[in-house]
Amino acid sequence: MAISNTFTKDPNATLDYGFDWSQWLDAGESISSYTVTTGCGITNIYNTNTSGSVIVWLSGGTPGERYTVACLIETNRARIDERSIKVDVRNR
């Protein structure tokens, strides 16, 4: 089963999106640092690291635009990975 990495949000909505590494991390491994980057025009207002996932809260965006939001992590075992999602902003 494929998991979509494209989401739709209204420009007036503030919503949370998750980057889940829990199945990728080895036993005893955890996320030690992370960086979230967004495209210009959509705002990362808050993010947090919880139990193998990074949650980012996004607001704004211009209707009709697609934004890429990326999350780069480093683990306590020095492994590095990056994942990204697409956010389509549409009036709903």
Over residues 63-89, the pLDDT tens digits come to 999 999 999 999 999 999 999 999 999
Q: What is the DSSP letter of 26?
A: P
Q: What is d(CA 21, CA 32) in angstroms, rounded to the nearest whole number?
A: 12
**Domain count along the chain:** 1
CATH number, domain with residue 24: 2.60.40.1220
Domain of 64? Answer: 6-89
Residue 33 lies in a domain: yes
Say which residue the tokens 């999350």 belong to. Answer: 71
Residue 1 lies in a domain: no
- Residue by residue, pLDDT tens for the chain (92 residues) are 445 789 999 999 999 999 999 999 999 999 999 999 998 899 999 999 988 999 999 999 999 999 999 999 999 999 999 999 999 999 98
Give the global pTM: 0.89
Residue 63 lies in a domain: yes
Strands, E assignment, the chain: 6-9, 14-20, 31-37, 42-50, 53-60, 66-75, 80-89
DSSP 3-state of 20 = strand
